[in-house]
């Protein structure tokens, strides 16, 4: 567990905390971007280069901008009248804490069944050629389904968010 | 001797690093290479700024700046001093943290792109297997800084300029990637070094640069169009249009922060010219085999400066496109054409060597260009005027 | 503590923070932000197991994570389109104000 891991995880967790705690919606979106960058760096630490760069390209380059545009188009940057938290915030926090407790207990209890630090192998060298081969041979069905899904999502999002013509006049 | 001149920077780095203990050497190599990038490209930026002002001046039938230094050669120094000493105004209602971070983020992200560009033979900072993907990931992050700049200024016009700029950059991101995918498909690798090595082959003294193939030429034209739009240059510079929106999304920036934005824009232009040179113009390879004695990095910088001159020429010549014309052009013409280009590149690969593939591919591309131009860019028929108020 | 446990704990923490955000914020977009955080935490889990599990050369974990990124992007697009459409109708994105079935 080297120092870089702690630093990057600290960055990702700090970004996530800021994203759910800040009052200003646009600040939340920018903190989310920091969290995405932290997670991308964790991917790079784990040796998943393609996944890390795809994370930056898709999440920071597209999803974050989408969130920001949605905030601007729905006037989210004005402070709301009734405060930023819903009616029962403590219940939500309790549920989240319980989920974290269960997950943490499961991870720590099964630590003995996992490979120890001395037996972990070196990072597998994965080239983009391997990923391409896998996508075309073993994962070709998920690839085609994701293509269909993305087309459907594209058309659906455009139709859902489109101005209706009769409201124009 | 010729070899030594070609590798002079690599040999210099190794000589300097030889003085350090063994465990520091890898870090030292990286530090020296990063320092070299941080010195070279802002230096090129200074040359480009001067070139632009003098070049635009001559195209507009006037002399550019000629007061500072002989023929105005010290103008960048004067510009730099002016930017550094101007008062740094932050509007009272502006979001101070985001206002400060936007130019910093832009400059950091733009310089990261240089890590994968092969500047010369054996002269890439990081030889990544997924180098092109890294470059585009960094390019996609610049849009966020544009938005941050526009929003944090709390200025309606800055925000409008930022939204337009982000919409434009997103629209032209897809043709940029698609025209590069054709190159990746033919080369078989995302690594920029592999792409340059594939183009460094000569037949009868002429190189196998991708721009000399039909799909490569079409791809290069699409790439250049998308690159001009990505860097918000004329004729796609409505977001920063000086006659419409004052300065667009960086209206409220002054002094050093404005200089950072300016630096980020030009360094981004140099970076994307470098990528275009790598993908289509053969990177550091010489145009003719007989000219191989000239060092590789000279060819690379020559191609980059040639691209910058073309950018400046376009700025001085073409009128600005309106926002809806720009977006129309991206989605209805450039994107379908790049997709067709992908098919043509695949056909090129599978038809095998010979004159037939040249004829077929060129014919398909020319016919598609004419047909798609007529169909995709048809003028809208305006009915009776209807009003739609902003909500 | 071996490296895999560290990554799994970070992923669990990010998941819990995303869940807290999705459950306690009022604005619909912030709920979507929480959901995106949860998806990212799951991706981190997948990649950590790919790296430290048996047969990393089979690329299963990495492929799963890449498809998950694609699907999450599609879901974010449709979700935000829906939020914009609802805002146009109800002029608010406050989830607590949308407590009637009738429009």
- Name the least confident of A51-60, C22-31, C93-102: C93-102
- Cα(A102)–Cα(A104) distance, rounded to whole angstroms? 6
- Cα(A50)–Cα(A57) distance, rounded to whole angstroms? 10
B111 shares contact with chain A (CB less than 8 Å): no
Choose, out of C10, C38, C94, the residue to mutate when testing the contact with A (most A CBs < 10 Å): C10
Look at residue B242 in the predicted model and tell me its pLDDT: 57
Which chain B positions have a beta carbon within 8 Å of A33's beta carbon? 144
- Model confidence pLDDT, tens digit, residues C28-86: 999 999 999 999 999 999 999 998 888 778 889 999 999 999 999 999 999 999 999 88
A4 shares contact with chain C (CB less than 8 Å): no
> Which of B140, B386, B387 is opposite residue A60, by nearest beta carbon?
B140
Mean pLDDT of chain A, nearest integer = 86
- Cα(B281)–Cα(B259) distance, rounded to whole angstroms? 31
B13 shares contact with chain A (CB less than 8 Å): no
pLDDT at A83 over 80: no
ipTM of the complex: 0.91
Look at residue C1 in the predicted model and tell me its pLDDT: 67
- Model confidence pLDDT, tens digit, residues B158-215: 888 888 889 899 999 999 999 999 999 999 989 999 999 999 888 877 788 999 999 9
> Which of A26, A128, A169 is opposite residue B130, by nearest beta carbon?
A128
> Which of B98, B170, B189 is opposite residue A65, by nearest beta carbon?
B170
Taking 70 as the pLDDT cut, the residues of chain B under it are 241-247, 377, 379-383, 385-386, 391
- Cα(B208)–Cα(B287) distance, rounded to whole angstroms? 9
Tokens 């000629």 — which residue? B66
> Exposed (0-12), middle (13-18) or buried (19+): which is A151, by Cβ within 10 Å?
exposed
Q: Is residue C103 part of a domain?
A: no
The distance of A166 to chain B (nearest Cα, Å) reads 11
Q: Is residue C73 part of a domain?
A: yes
* Alpha-carbon dihedral angle through residues C31, C36, C38, C42, given to the nearest 10 degrees: 160
Beta carbons of A61 and B134 less than 8 Å apart: no
Look at residue B17 in the predicted model and tell me its pLDDT: 86
Q: Which has more pLDDT, A117 or A45?
A: A45
B256 neighbors B84 (Cβ within 8 angstroms) = yes
Q: Which has more pLDDT, B252 or C20?
A: C20
Which chain A positions have a beta carbon within 8 Å of B138's beta carbon? 56
Tokens of C62: 């990495």
> Exposed (0-12), middle (13-18) or buried (19+): which is A39, by Cβ within 10 Å?
buried
Look at residue A106 in the predicted model and tell me its pLDDT: 92
* SS3 state of residue B371: helix
Look at residue B37 in the predicted model and tell me its pLDDT: 93
- Cα(B213)–Cα(B236) distance, rounded to whole angstroms? 27
Q: Is residue C102 part of a domain?
A: no
Q: Which has more pLDDT, A33 or C97?
A: A33
> Exposed (0-12), middle (13-18) or buried (19+): which is B380, by Cβ within 10 Å?
exposed
* SS3 state of residue B66: coil
Domain boundaries, chain A: 1-78, 124-169
Look at residue B334 in the predicted model and tell me its pLDDT: 92
> Of chain C residues 61-100, which have a CB less than 8 A from chain A?
62-63, 65-67, 69-78, 80-85, 87, 93-96
> Exposed (0-12), middle (13-18) or buried (19+): which is B60, by Cβ within 10 Å?
exposed
B48 neighbors B308 (Cβ within 8 angstroms) = yes
Single pTM value for the model = 0.91
**Residue B285 DSSP one-character state:** -
**Residue B353 CB neighbour total at 10 angstroms:** 7
Domain boundaries, chain B: 2-376
DSSP result, A55-123:
HIIIIIIIIHHHHHHHHHHTTTTSPPTT-SB-S-HHHHHHHHHHHHHHHHHHHHHGGGGS--TTTPPPP
C93 neighbors A77 (Cβ within 8 angstroms) = no
- Cα(B48)–Cα(C62) distance, rounded to whole angstroms? 43
Q: How many CB pairs under 8 A join A and B?
A: 67
Alpha-carbon torsion (B300, B306, B312, B317), positive or negative: negative
* Closest residue in C to A110 (Cα–Cα): C5
Q: Is residue C17 part of a domain?
A: yes
Domain topology for A1-78: 1.20.120
* Run of H or E residues at B203: strand B202-203
Look at residue C41 in the predicted model and tell me its pLDDT: 96
Confidence of residue A168 (pLDDT cuts 50, 70, 90): very low
- Model confidence pLDDT, tens digit, residues A46-70: 989 999 999 999 999 999 999 999 9
Look at residue B4 in the predicted model and tell me its pLDDT: 82
pLDDT at A30 over 90: yes
Query: What's the domain count of chain C?
Result: 1
- Cα(B61)–Cα(B45) distance, rounded to whole angstroms? 24
Look at residue B50 in the predicted model and tell me its pLDDT: 92
A64 shares contact with chain B (CB less than 8 Å): yes
**Residue B206 DSSP one-character state:** E
């Amino acid at each position: 567990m080297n120092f870089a891991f702690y630093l990057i995880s600290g960055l990702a967790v700090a970004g996530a905390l800021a994203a759910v705690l800040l009052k200003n919606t646009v600040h939340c979106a920018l903190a989310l971007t920091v969290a995405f960058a932290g997670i991308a760096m964790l991917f790079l630490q784990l040796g998943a280069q393609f996944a890390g760069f795809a994370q930056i390209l898709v999440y920071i380059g597209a999803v974050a901008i989408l969130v920001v545009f949605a905030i601007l188009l729905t006037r989210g940057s004005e402070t709301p009248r009734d405060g930023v938290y819903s009616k029962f915030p403590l219940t939500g926090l309790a549920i989240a804490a319980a989920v974290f407790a269960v997950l943490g207990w499961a991870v720590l209890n099964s630590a003995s069944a996992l490979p120890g630090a001395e037996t972990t192998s070196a990072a597998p060298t994965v080239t983009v050629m391997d990923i391409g081969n896998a996508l075309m041979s073993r994962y070709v069905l998920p690839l085609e389904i994701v293509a269909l899904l993305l087309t459907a999502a594209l058309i659906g999002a455009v139709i859902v968010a489109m101005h209706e013509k009769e409201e124009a006049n | 001797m010729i070899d030594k001149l070609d590798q002079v920077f690599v040999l210099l780095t190794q000589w300097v690093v030889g003085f350090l203990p063994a465990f520091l050497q890898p870090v030292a190599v990286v530090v020296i290479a990063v320092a070299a990038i941080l010195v070279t490209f802002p230096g090129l930026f200074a040359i480009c700024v001067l070139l632009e002002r003098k070049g635009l001046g001559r195209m507009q039938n006037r002399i550019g700046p000629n007061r500072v230094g002989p023929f105005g050669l010290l103008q960048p120094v004067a510009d730099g001093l002016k930017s550094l000493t101007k008062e740094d105004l932050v509007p009272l209602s502006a979001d101070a943290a985001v206002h400060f971070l936007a130019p910093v983020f832009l400059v950091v992200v733009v310089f990261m792109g240089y890590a994968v560009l092969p500047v010369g033979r054996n002269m890439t900072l990081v030889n990544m297997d997924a180098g092109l993907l890294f470059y585009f990931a960094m390019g996609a992050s610049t849009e966020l800084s544009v938005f941050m700049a526009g929003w944090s200024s709390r200025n309606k016009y800055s925000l409008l300029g930022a939204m337009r700029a982000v919409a434009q950059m997103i629209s032209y991101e897809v043709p940029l990637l698609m025209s590069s995918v054709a190159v990746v498909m033919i080369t078989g690798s995302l690594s920029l070094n592999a792409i340059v090595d594939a183009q460094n082959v000569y037949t009868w003294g002429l190189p196998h640069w991708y721009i000399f193939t039909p799909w490569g030429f079409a791809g290069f034209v699409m790439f250049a169009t998308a690159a001009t739009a990505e860097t918000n240059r004329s004729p796609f510079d409505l977001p920063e249009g000086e006659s419409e929106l004052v300065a667009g999304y960086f209206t409220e920036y002054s002094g050093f922060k404005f200089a950072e934005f300016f630096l980020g824009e030009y360094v981004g232009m140099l970076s994307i010219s470098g990528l275009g040179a790598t993908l289509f113009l053969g990177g550091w390879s010489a145009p003719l085999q007989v000219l191989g004695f000239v060092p590789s990095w000279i060819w690379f910088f020559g191609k980059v400066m040639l691209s910058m001159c073309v950018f400046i020429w376009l700025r001085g010549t073409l009128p600005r496109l309106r926002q809806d014309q720009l977006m129309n052009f991206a989605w209805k013409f450039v994107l379908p054409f790049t997709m067709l280009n992908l098919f043509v590149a695949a056909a090129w690969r599978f038809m095998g060597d010979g004159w037939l593939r040249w004829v077929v591919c060129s014919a398909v591309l020319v016919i598609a260009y004419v047909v798609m131009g007529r169909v995709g860019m048809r003028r809208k028929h305006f009915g009776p005027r209807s009003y739609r108020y902003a909500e | 503590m071996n490296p895999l446990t560290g990554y799994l704990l970070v992923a669990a923490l990010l998941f819990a923070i995303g869940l807290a955000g999705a459950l306690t914020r009022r604005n619909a977009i912030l709920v979507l932000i929480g959901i995106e955080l949860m998806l990212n935490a799951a991706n981190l889990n997948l990649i950590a197991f790919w790296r430290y599990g048996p047969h990393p050369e089979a690329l299963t974990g990495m492929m799963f994570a890449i498809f998950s990124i694609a699907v999450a992007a599609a879901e974010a697009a449709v979700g935000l389109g829906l939020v914009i459409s609802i805002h146009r109708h109800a002029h608010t994105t406050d989830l607590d104000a949308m407590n009637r079935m009738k429009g």
